[in-house]
Structure formats: structure tokens, C-alpha cells
Amino acid sequence: MSGAGPKGPRLGLGLSEDVDLLRFEQQARDVEAAPGPGPATPGEWIRQNLFSGPVNALLTLASGTFVLFVAYQILSFVFVSAEWEVVQVGMRGYMIGGFPVDEAWRVWASAYLVIVLAGLSYGVSARRLRPSAGQAAVGAVVVAVAGTIVFFTAQTVLVRALTAGVAPAVLAGALVGRLFGRKILRPLIVAWVLVFPAIMIVVRGFDGVPPSEWEGLFFNIVAATVGIVASFPLGLLLALGRRSELPAVRVVSVGLIELFRGVPLVAWLIFSKFVVDLVLPPQMVIPDIVKAFVAMTLFSAAYVGEIVRGGLQGVPAGQYEAARALGLSTTRMMALIVLPQALRSTIPAMISHFISLFKDTSLFVAIEVTDLLAAARRSASSLQYFGRDMETLLFAGLIFWAVAFSMSRWSQRLEVRLGVGRR
Amino acid sequence: MADAALKEAARPSLWRDVRVLRAAGQVVFVVILVVIAREMYLNASFAIGSAGRELSYTYLDSRAGFAIKEHIVGYSANQPLYKAFLAGATNAMLVAAAGIVMATVLGVLIGVARLSPNWMVKKIALVYVEVFRNIPLLVQVIFWYVAVILAIPRIEDSVSIFGVAFVSNRGAAMPAIRSGADFGTWSLFVLAALLVAATVWRWRTRVHERTGGRHYRWLSSLAVMAVLAAAGYALLGDAFKVELPELIAHGYSGGLQISPEFAGILVALVVYTAAFIGEIVRGSILAVSKGQKEAAQALGLSPGQQLRLVVLPQAMRTAIPPINNQYLNLWKNTSLAFAVGFPDLINISTTMVNQAGHALETFSLVVGTYLGTSLLISFGMNVLNRAVTLRGGTA
Amino acid sequence: MHSLAAKKTLALVFALAVVAMACTREEEGGEGGGTQGETQAAQGDETTLLDEIKQRGTLRCGVNNTVPGFGFDPGTGEIEGFDIDFCRAFAAAVLGDSEAIDLVPIDADNRFIALQNGDYDVLARNTTWTTSRDGAEGVAFMHVNFYDGQAMMVREGDFSSIDEMDGTNVCVTTGTTTELNLADYFGARGLDFEPIAFEENPQLQRAFISGRCDGWTSDRSQLAGIRSQWPEEEGGPESLIIFDEVISKEPLAPGVLDSEIELHDALDAVVNGLILAEELGVTSANVEDTAEDPGEGPVAALLGAPVLDPETGESAPLDNGLGITNNFMIDVISAVGNYGEIFDRHVGPESDLELERGINALWTDGGIQYAIPFR
């Protein structure tokens, strides 16, 4: 079933279009993955791919020069002119900001929780643990780069050890997961569901640290997770509301979706900080950061709603009819037949939304939250390191990029695994 | 009679009648929403009233008092606040309009490069997409402004391009075309030239269809138009003139000037959005079924004709909805101008709130403006989409 | 058919709304910042902010962390300066502990909305007292603690006075009176200019260093602070000059919300007390000895010493009725010293800022600092 075009000329302020986009991307990957006649020798390959005609040869030369130029600029900056001391000194600020140092174990504990779970999941799901040569090479480079960064930036032996412990923890998790295989799939899923509440307890419980002190990369990750977790049920409701037969429910759902999506997140964040207090009852006092989380959740829910709607539209009418024929009630039909299919097809779009939400958490700086980017900016404006903008921006950008990029890669693999859009 | 009685008996009681319940449910739903909205309004007017102010928009008529460095609405510090708001809104729209055009061009280039048979070009485009779409836009905005644009030579060491254009970290200045006294007459001239050119186009097409010879319709109609327009310019004397920028003490005078802040937000928006548009273009070209390309080949169309007549029209149809989405994102992302001090909607409205109060009123205007413009963009793309779908349908 | 689904949806919406309400209520109690709501809910509307601060045990001050001398974080996370010492003095007076403070760094742009929202209790952030801030923004200002004026800073050798600055780019912080004065001052002289407006000083500093703007306008005190910290690789403080021309009057004063008159009165007494202490020669060095034997008269009144009633022969403290202890000035002065000490420590001629007392000298020394009497 290819279903290339959109269903009709319908166009909203929509994100369901992005679901289409994901479908294109996947088709594109399919088309490109199609095996063609391979070149016989390296020389043949070069001739075919780089110098197949005069225009092509010219393009290769021009773009090759461009690549060399950019690579030279980057390398000479990174290894010669850059002064990385500012990053080394500011590292703790980038990661956890003003999070009390004595309480930093809470963050480490949370991080290890997630890391071990990720390792277990990898062990359970990976078809083979032994990576291909290409994967091994990429992995080696990543480990080398990460190792270098850790070695040069870690301030204490403990931090160095804890960071170095990440790799063994993942590996151990993977081996254990491999050992038990599918048998622990169910507990694993339950664990993933519970991991966020667990982290909240670890961070906040036992005289923990209030949200106003969550800063740095830790804030970015937590905020994005809060956003996606809280906005999922709300988005589901909005999607169902938008497809409701009751005009009032439909109109309100459409109105809310378009309202929250038509205005930038920055505006909503500022709105939440400066205006929301006015419309709430005077005795109701909510901390700024909670109001901002609520604003982000509503913003995100509008997008989730559209993604889910796209998924619902993709469920064939026959599925509804079959469910009816079996005599299922509406709730059971939705819960057992329609939603599982709809949600499964939305997983890639959800992950892509999560990635953009993660990137958007940098906008909290507009309401004076010190996230990773703000911490990086601050370290470049301190007297001692004034003007080290390039170094700090590159480093912050690299971390954001690494998280977003690895998630998008994971999403692509998941798509293949689930066979989304390919049935 | 018995029939009616049966019907009567079959009708469910009022509280079990689905239709009644649906109507009642909706009424309750709406009433609850109205109550919440009213409660919020009352809270706001009470809070504002107890602070000795009132909920109204009349403050927009009072003097703004602050200067805005760039605007296209003839603003000055002595003008009312609504004019300041307007300056911010139009600035944001200007960035968005320029950004949409440039991001589309760059995006299509990236998308096509992703499919290039040249391995090097393909990989460059891939790296471009993966790098720029996975880094937060705010990081990119600050990067372009602080690390790139502010690092350009100062105004004293302004880079001159053949003496007609200048670049420094005070901005760029380039020649501008300004309309002269006879511009109106001259545009009539151009209109006439356009008609003549169209006629020439038709004539050449007919010749081509009759004889099968080369039509040269582009060349001939453009030549006719250029000659006529030039003749008009020569005849009238003051149709338009080219204004060259000049380097003065602390900046530029004349010409078309681009401020560093405008450039910073614009470049970031274009580079970021183009990565997404590139993926859309690539995806939608690949989504055109292989049979279409093969059929075009079988008809003996040249590769260029295949692309222009068969692949692109179909690809465009699938690409428009997601591209519309990118345009909307770009418009909303102009709000990140706050990071570089470009006077956009958010920047101006926070200044307004700080100088004159009235947070609720000002920010509700901001929400309204973003929403309205988003709908406008969607509407425009809808019209385009319909036109394209229609043509695709008849083909 | 679908109606049932719709009804379920409806029910879910309600359920969610209830849950949402419950959540927010929960957050209210759970948060450090939510104590205001908690106590208000518990005790009705009669609780004043002053009582609340005493219950809470900390005083929250909205401060600057980017202006050397007044409120500045040199990169250590500790904010120090003239305004911060006033915050300490307030905490010492209200809570008896000058360390019981919570410093909330805040942008110029957001300070009033944040004050109205209750994000902090006292605005101690080099804020100019103006009529519209008294009125529209609803701030109750205390005694002026620093008489400032707006000035212009340029790179050495670029200009010799503001009148030469036609057609220039001027760096300015958004949302300040400075921004308004700049437009007025240049407008009145028929000078053309472009304001390069940023929210924060570090961004302005970067723009100024890179040559994006020709001049930087702000309060003279702020400019002196920035100049004092100018990076050596950019030429150090000597590469910058601040013109003597006064663009505007900028009386800086701490402030609280209009509705918190009790807190205003108590803190206003602290500001006056600090100035009076200098006038009476009470310093952090001698305050303890003086408190032992205050004698009679103004010093005794300042330190809240018991007053001998000549008729009954008993000594009883004079009740100041401010809602704080009578001898609060002892804690205040031993914590931060008198006004002159604070001034000298952070901004005076011996400090990095090298500011003269000027009109901030006591009225007895030819300045205009004149405190109300303690009686």
C-alpha cells in the first residue's frame, strides 16, 4: 500500500502533514535501499559516482574544495585556536546548572536508572549483539570522542569514574537482557512506564530539589519528558474530540488545537509567566516553572492531537466494521482495535515531535530558566572567559545534536522494526 | 392505533434517549466552558481593578516614548503605542516573508542535491540536513549573530564590494532601485510590453506546432519585452533610478540596508527551515512512482523535460501540505528574534508591557497576531494547493 | 454509535479537568514558592507580606547580577554589591539575620511583572523612582538610596560630547527609563540615532566590544561599574570614557508592592536608619559599644534603646509600631555598617568603581542625603 498523496486538499495549521512527511522519508529510504547493480572495482565506483560526466566532475571538484575548506576551518578552530578551558570549568553548570552539588547524586542515580534500562532493552531487542564493522567503527569514534571530553572536563575522580561507568553499565544491561531475552519484555515495559515517576521521586523526594533548581541539560531532558508524558493523554483526548460527532466537542477541540499551535512556544511561555496569574483566582499561587510546564504541555498536546488524528485516519473503515460485527462496545472497539493500530502508526511521528520538543526546551531561557544553552551563554560572559562564544555554543550545540540525532536514528530503526506504513 | 402505541412504547425514556443525552451533554459542556471563561475574565478584571488600573485597550493610544531601530511603518518615539506594536508585527512578517522565499529556494536545492547522482554532493546535502535540523534553532540564531555576524569587520574597516555595496558588523548595504516621478507611466508601458510579449509567445508556439521547427518562445518574448521596457525607460527619463549606498561616519546612507540583527535571525531561520524543506522535497520526488518516470522516458522526453513536466508537478502536490507546515513554523520561529535584539513582535510587546503595563491586553494582541497570520499563510497555501491539485487531476 | 464515544470523551475531559485542578492544588503546597498561597489560604486575607516573610524565615529580593558594584555575580554564583547589602540590611531588620536572604536575579524587562506576581518581596535592583512606576506599575518606593543620573560611555577618542553623536548606534537595555530618556534627549537635540536594545548587559557588552554600537548609555553608576571591569584584552578601563553630561535624573530606590504598606514602612525605616547612622557616627565597629551605652537623644532612638520616663523613673522602649523589633538597627548596622560604609565598600572612591560621593553625600557635607528622624 503506497498511498503517496494526501487524502485530499485538506490543509490546517496542521501537523498531520508531518506524518505525511515521515511517510515520504520512509519511502525515500526504501527506494534508496533498493539494490542496484554494484560497481566492480573502487575505480569503477569513483567513475560512476564522482566523474560520470564533465558537469559531474566539475561538481565533484567544487564540492570537494568546499568540504576541504570547511573541514580545515573546523579542525583548525577545534584543535588550534579554541580555548576549551571555559567548557571544562563550566561543565557542571552545563549539565545540572545550579542544582545543589550535595544533591547531585540524585541526578546520577536517575541517569544510571535510564542507562541500565536502555542497556537491558537493547539486549532484549537486538537481533544480534555483535555489531557490523561499520557500526563498530562509528562506535569506536563515539567512545573515543566522549572519552576525551570526559577526561578533559571532569573535575573530580568521582565524576570521571561515574561517567566512565556508563559504558560498562550499558554493556552489562545488554548482556543481562540478552540472557533473559523476551522473557523480561513485559517487566521491562512496566519499568519504562515507571521510570519517569521513579526519577521524580529520586529527585524530589527525601528533602529533594524543587523544580525551580533544575537547570542545565538535566532541565532540558526533564522538561521534554514532562512535556511528552503530560501531553500524550491530553493530545489523545483532543484527537478523539476532533473526530467526535458532537459539534460542541469538535469545535472546542479544533479551536484549542489551532489556538495552541498557531502561536509560538516563546509567546506561550511568556504568557504563562506574566498573564496566567491574572486570570487565576487570587488565592491560587502556582510556581512559574509549573505554569511554564503546563503551557508547554498544552502546546505539545495540540501537536500530539494532530499526530494521533493522522493515525486514526489511517485505520481502515473495515476495522471499525469488523469490531462492530464482533459486538464490541465503542470503548472496547477504540481501546482494543482502533487505538492500538492508530498509535502504532504514529510512533515515528511521536518521536520526531519529542525531538522537536527537546530542542524547544532551550526556549525556556525567555522566562529565565538556566538550561544548557543559557548556562553556556553565561559561562561565555563571565569576566574570566569573556568572548568564548564559539567554544561554548559549539559544545552546547554538540550535546543537543547528539541527543536529537541519536533519537532520530533510533526512531528510524524502530520504524523498520515495526514495519510502519509498509503493510 | 396499536402501531402508534407500539412506537410510543419503543421510544426510550427521555434520560435514555441518545439524541437528548447528546444535546444535553453538549449544553453542559458549553456552559462549563463559558463559566470558566467568565471566571477567568472576572479574576483578571478584579486583579487589574484592585491595582487601580482597568482592562482596556485605550492605552494603545498613548505616546510610546521609546525608539525602535528598524521598522517599515514610519515609526518614531513620539507616536502612539499601537504604532510600535505595528512596527514589531511588520518586522516579524518581513523576516518571515524573506525567510519563506529564501528557505524554499535553498530547501529545493538541498532536496535535489540529496538525490544527485554525484556521491560528494549527495553526502554534503545529507550532512547539512542532519546537522542543522538536530540543533535547536535558538543555538543557531545566537551562533549566527554572535559568532559570525558580530565577528565581521567593524564599520571603520567596512568591506567594500566594487564600491557599490558594503559589509560590516553594522550591517550590509547594497544598491536599491527607487521609483522615479514617471514610474506610474512606465509601469503602464511594462504592462503593454507584457501583452505584446504574450502575443509573441503565442505566435511562436503556433509556428512551432505548424512547422515543427524550434519555437524560441522564451528568447523571443523576453527580448521583445526587454526592448519595449528599455524604450519606455529611455523615453520617460525618470522611471526609476538605482540608488547607491554611501559609507558615512557611523553607518551607511541610502541604498538597501540590512541590519545585523535582521540578518542574524533571517540566516538562522533560512538555514534551519531549508533542512526540513530539503527532506520534504526529496521525499516527495521519490514518492512519484517509478512508472511515471519510465512512461515519460518511453515518450522520449529529455531528462529535463521528465523532471519539469512529469515528476515535479506530481511531487509538488505531495510536498505542499508539509511545506505549508514548515512555513508556519518559520513564521512562529521569528519569535526567537528576542535572542538577538531584533525588534520583532515579542521584543516590542515585552518592551511595551514594561514601559506601559497592561500585560494581559498586550499579550492577547500578540496571540491574536500570531494566530491571524498563521491562518493567513495556511489560507494562501490552501489556494496554491487547490490550484496544483486541479492541474494534477486533469493531467 | 459514536455518541457513546463522544460521551466518554466528555467524561474524560471532566475527569481530566478535575485531575488538573487537583494537581495544581497539590503543587501549591508542595513548592517552596507556594508558601504565599498556603499561608494566605490558611489565614485569610489579613496576613500581610511582612508577617509572611517572618513565617517563611527568608526575605526574597529581586536583584541585578550583571552590574558591578550594585549587584554582580563575578562568575562564582555569589551576588555582591550595594543593592545586595540593602537586601541584607532588610533581612537583618525583619528577621534578625542578614544571611536569611534569597536573591532572585531578574531582568530589567521583567522586574515589575515579577514583583506583581509575587516572585520576590523587595525590589532592590537599581530601579529609578518615577511617577508612572509609582502609579501604573504599582510600586511603593522607599527613601532614595542612590541619586544617579543617566550618562553616555564611548570608546576613548571617538567623540568628545553627546552633541557629536549624530547618526550613531547606541546600546541600551530594553524596558528601562534609560531607553525612554535616550529617545527624548537625542530627539530634543535633533540628533539621529539607532537604539541597539538588548535585555541583558552581557549581550550589550558583546555588541559594544564588537563595535556594533558607538555609545553605551545607562545610569552613571552602572557604566562606572562596567568600565571598572572592562577586560584588559579590550583595552581595560582606560580605553573608555564616560561623558559628564547628565541625560536625566535617576533617583534609585528600593520598592515593594503598593498593597504592602507595612513592609514598605518597616524597610523605609531601615534605609533612613542607615543614613542617620552615618550622620550620628554609628558604624559597624562601634555599634555594639554604643548600644551598651547609647545615652539619650537621637542615637538612643536610632538603636531603640529604652527611654527613661522622668515621671515614673522606669525605662521602657519606645514602640516604633513598624512591626519589627525596636532595636532592629543594631542588627542592621553590625551586619552591613552605615550608609557611608556600604557606599565606600562597593562604589566609593576606594572601590573599583571610583565613584565620588557627590550629591549622595550627607546634607551636612553638602550632599542631599537627608534622613527622617527616629523619634
Q: Give A136-184 pLDDT, tens digit per residue.
A: 777 777 777 777 777 676 667 777 777 777 777 877 887 777 777 777 7
Distance of alpha carbon A296 from alpha carbon A369, whole angstroms: 14
The cell for C186 is 537625542
pLDDT at A98: 72
For residue C167, give the nearest of C239, C210, C215 by alpha carbon: C215
Of A61-65, A91-95, A175-179, which one has max mean pLDDT? A61-65
CA distances from B317 to A51, B43, B137, B373 (A): 33, 49, 28, 23
pLDDT at A423: 41
Which residues in chain C have Cβ-Cβ distances shorter than 8 Å to B350? 109-110, 174-175
Render pLDDT for C88-129 as a digit per residue (tens, 0 to 9).
999 999 999 999 999 988 877 778 888 888 889 999 988 889
Per-residue pLDDT, averaged over B263-285, amounts to: 92
* Amino acid of residue B150: L
Q: Which of A127-141, A242-256, A315-329, C351-365 has the lowest mean pLDDT?
A: A127-141
Residue A10 — very low, low, confident or very high, per pLDDT cuts 50/70/90?
A: very low
Per-residue pLDDT, averaged over B211-227, amounts to: 82
pLDDT at C43: 42
pLDDT at B9: 58
Per-residue pLDDT, averaged over A265-284, amounts to: 85
**Does residue C286 sit in the same domain as residue C247?**
no
Per-residue pLDDT, averaged over B215-244, amounts to: 82
For residue A371, give the nearest of A97, A88, A186, A22 by alpha carbon: A97
| Distance between A144 CA and the closest CA of chain B, angstroms | 20
pLDDT at C84: 94
Mutate to test the interface with A, among B135, B277, B292, B329 (most CBs of A within 10 A): B135
Q: Which of A267-276, B354-363, C1-10, C36-45 has the lowest mean pLDDT?
A: C36-45
**Does residue C208 sit in the same domain as residue C290?**
no
Does A353 or A45 have the greater pLDDT score?
A353
pLDDT at C143: 94
Mutate to test the interface with C, among B79, B261, B354 (most CBs of C within 10 A): B354
H-helix or E-strand containing C133? helix C131-135
pLDDT at A14: 42
Which residues in chain A have Cβ-Cβ distances shorter than 8 Å to C202? 377-378, 381
Establish if C87 belongs to a structural domain: no
Neighbours of B228 (CB within 10 A): 18
% of chain A exceeding 90 in pLDDT: 9
Q: At what angle do helices C82-95 and C328-336 cross, to 10 degrees?
A: 150
pLDDT at B393: 44
Sign, CA dihedral C362-C364-C370-C373, equals positive
Q: What size, in residues, is chain B?
A: 395
pLDDT of residue C31 exceeding 50, the answer is no
For residue A354, give the nearest of A174, A231, A251 by alpha carbon: A231
Q: At what angle do helices A288-313 and A216-242 cross, to 10 degrees?
A: 50
Which residues in chain C have Cβ-Cβ distances shorter than 8 Å to A381? 202-203, 205-206
**Bridge partners, residue C105, by sequence:** C63
Q: What is the 3-state secondary structure (H, E, C) of chain B?
A: CHHHHHHHHHCCCHHHCHHHHHHHHHHHHHHHHHHHHHHHHHHHHHHHHHCCCCCCCHHHHCECCCCCCCCCCCCCCCCEHHHHHHHHHHHHHHHHHHHHHHHHHHHHHHHHHHCCCCHHHHHHHHHHHHHHCCCCHHHHHHHHHHHHHCCCCCHHHCEEECCCEEEECCEEEECEEEECCCHHHHHHHHHHHHHHHHHHHHHHHHHHHHHCCCCCHHHHHHHHHHHHHHHHHHHHCCCEEEECCEEECCEEECCEEECHHHHHHHHHHHHHHHHHHHHHHHHHHHHCCHHHHHHHHHCCCCHHHHHHHHHHHHHHHHHHHHHHHHHHHHHHHHHHHHHHCCCCHHHHHHHHHHHHCCHHHHHHHHHHHHHHHHHHHHHHHHHHHHHHHHHHHHC
| Distance between B237 CA and the closest CA of chain A, angstroms | 44
Render pLDDT for A300-338 as a digit per residue (tens, 0 to 9).
999 998 888 888 887 888 888 888 888 888 788 888 888
Establish if C337 belongs to a structural domain: yes
Establish if C304 belongs to a structural domain: yes
Which residues in chain B have Cβ-Cβ distances shorter than 8 Å to C180? 65-66, 77, 355
pLDDT at C116: 83
H-helix or E-strand containing C196? strand C193-198
CB contact under 8 A, B341 and C137: no
pLDDT at A39: 60
Render pLDDT for B133-183 as a digit per residue (tens, 0 to 9).
999 999 999 999 988 888 888 888 888 888 788 888 888 888 888 877 778
Residue C14 — very low, low, confident or very high, per pLDDT cuts 50/70/90?
A: very low
The cell for B159 is 568591506
pLDDT at C18: 41
Establish if C180 belongs to a structural domain: yes
Does A17 or A405 have the greater pLDDT score?
A405
The model carries a pTM of 0.80
* Amino acid of residue B34: V
Mutate to test the interface with B, among A1, A15, A18, A24 (most CBs of B within 10 A): A24
Which residues in chain B have Cβ-Cβ distances shorter than 8 Å to C135? 52
Return the ∠ at Cα C317 (arms to C314 and C323), rounded to 5°: 155
Establish if C27 belongs to a structural domain: yes
**Does residue C302 sit in the same domain as residue C217?**
no
Say if residues A258 and A13 touch (Cβ distance below 8 Å): yes
pLDDT of residue A231 exceeding 50, the answer is yes
pLDDT of residue A18 exceeding 60, the answer is no
Does B379 or C27 have the greater pLDDT score?
B379
CB contact under 8 A, A244 and C12: no
pLDDT of residue C341 exceeding 90, the answer is yes
Which residues in chain C have Cβ-Cβ distances shorter than 8 Å to B261? 196
H-helix or E-strand containing C342? helix C339-346
pLDDT of residue C142 exceeding 90, the answer is yes
- ipTM of predicted assembly, 2 dp: 0.83
Q: What size, in residues, is chain C?
A: 375
- Phi, psi angles (nearest 5°) of residue B346: -65, -45
Q: Is C352 on the interface with A (CB under 8 A)?
A: no
Establish if C198 belongs to a structural domain: yes
| Distance between C16 CA and the closest CA of chain B, angstroms | 13
Question: What value does the CA radius of gyration of chain A take, rounded to a whole number of Å?
Answer: 25
Of A191-195, B286-290, C144-148, C313-317, which one has max mean pLDDT? C144-148
| Total number of domains constituting chain C | 3
Q: Which domain holds residue C23?
A: 14-47
Question: What value does the CA radius of gyration of chain C take, rounded to a whole number of Å?
Answer: 25
| Distance between C85 CA and the closest CA of chain B, angstroms | 26
**3-state SS class at A355:** helix
**Bridge partners, residue C215, by sequence:** C154, C170
Longest dimension (CA), chain A: 77
Distance of alpha carbon B156 from alpha carbon C190, whole angstroms: 25
Q: Is C34 on the interface with A (CB under 8 A)?
A: yes
Say if residues A95 and A216 touch (Cβ distance below 8 Å): yes
pLDDT of residue C20 exceeding 80, the answer is no
The cell for C105 is 536575579
pLDDT at C293: 83
Distance of alpha carbon B88 from alpha carbon B83, whole angstroms: 9
pLDDT at B25: 82
CATH number at residue C223: 3.40.190.10
Least CB–CB distance from C167: residue in B69, B156, B249: B249
**Does residue C242 sit in the same domain as residue C303?**
no
Per-residue pLDDT, averaged over A280-292, amounts to: 81
Residue B7 — very low, low, confident or very high, per pLDDT cuts 50/70/90?
A: low
For residue B364, give the nearest of A257, A267, A298, A13 by alpha carbon: A267
Tell the residue number behind the cell numbers 537621637, with chain if given: C298
Establish if C228 belongs to a structural domain: yes
Say if residues B117 and A56 touch (Cβ distance below 8 Å): yes
Which residues in chain C have Cβ-Cβ distances shorter than 8 Å to B260? 212
Residue A357 — very low, low, confident or very high, per pLDDT cuts 50/70/90?
A: very high
**Does residue C296 sit in the same domain as residue C239?**
no
For residue C101, give the nearest of C147, C59, C160, C155 by alpha carbon: C59
Task: Spell out the alpha helix ranges (H) of A50-153.
Answer: 54-76, 85-96, 104-125, 133-153
pLDDT at A29: 60
Render pLDDT for C211-246 as a digit per residue (tens, 0 to 9).
889 999 988 888 888 888 888 878 888 889 888 888
pLDDT of residue B115 exceeding 60, the answer is yes
List, as one string, the DSSP characters of A12-53. -S-SHHHHHHHHHHHHHHHHHHS--PPPSSHHHHHHHHT-SS
Distance of alpha carbon C93 from alpha carbon C320, whole angstroms: 13
Render pLDDT for B23-79 as a digit per residue (tens, 0 to 9).
888 888 888 888 888 888 888 888 777 766 777 888 888 888 888 888 888 888 888
**Does residue C286 sit in the same domain as residue C347?**
yes
pLDDT at B339: 87
Q: What size, in residues, is chain A?
A: 423
| Distance between C249 CA and the closest CA of chain B, angstroms | 17
Establish if C188 belongs to a structural domain: yes
Per-residue pLDDT, averaged over A263-291, amounts to: 85
- Phi, psi angles (nearest 5°) of residue A326: -75, -5
Report CA A167 to chain centroid distance, whole Å: 21
DSSP A193: H
**Does residue C238 sit in the same domain as residue C322?**
no
